[in-house]
Amino acid sequence: MPSTDTGAEHGNALPILNEIRHALARLLESGETSVIDLGALPMGPQDEAELLAALGEGEVEATIHAGGPSNVRETAFHGVWLLTHRNEAGETLARFIEIAFVPELLMSQAEDVADSAAELAKKLSEAQNR
């Protein structure tokens, strides 16, 4: 297949787009989520740029302010998310594609919610006994 810069063909991005297609099918069938580590793939910067161009941009963009900031970007394909982890200097440490209804990183974990519920109950109890 010829590789062009038109964006109409995706060269080395094709195998990953195929993997994403299978992951979307699994998500719809069983709710199973998948994560693809872009750093673990034999892709050059040009391949990665082609992949990201093929995936496009969706409506949701999120930042997680925890240590180095992480960025979550919905792609133009619902259920396909691009995650970028950076260090405190802003350098990209890792990039992942997550195929999920919502990336794990955006969800509150049950243990954390339980801690927060206990903390709020304590604060309210203090305020009401004041």
Binding stretches for its own copies (CB under 8 A): 1, 9-10, 14, 17-18, 20-21, 24-25, 27-28, 54, 59-66, 72, 74, 76-80, 100-102, 106-110, 112-117, 119-121, 123-124, 127-128, 130
* Shortest reach from residue 115's CB to its own copies, in Å: 7
Closest to its own copies by CB, 37 vs 104, is 104
Find, among 92, 38, 85, 81, the residue nearest to 66 by Cα: 85
User: What is d(CA 93, CA 68) in angstroms, rounded to the nearest whole number?
Assistant: 9
Provide the minimum distance between the beta carbon of 93 and its own copies in the complex, in angstroms, as a whole number: 17
Distance in Å, CB of 111 to its own copies, minimum: 9
> Of 93 and 113, which has the nearer Cβ to its own copies?
113
Nearest 5°: phi and psi at 121? -60, -40
Choice between 47 and 74, CB closer to its own copies: 74
1 Cβ contact partners less than 8 Å away, ≥ 6 residues apart: 9, 11, 14
Residue owning tokens 């989520």: 33
Residue 99, amino acid = I
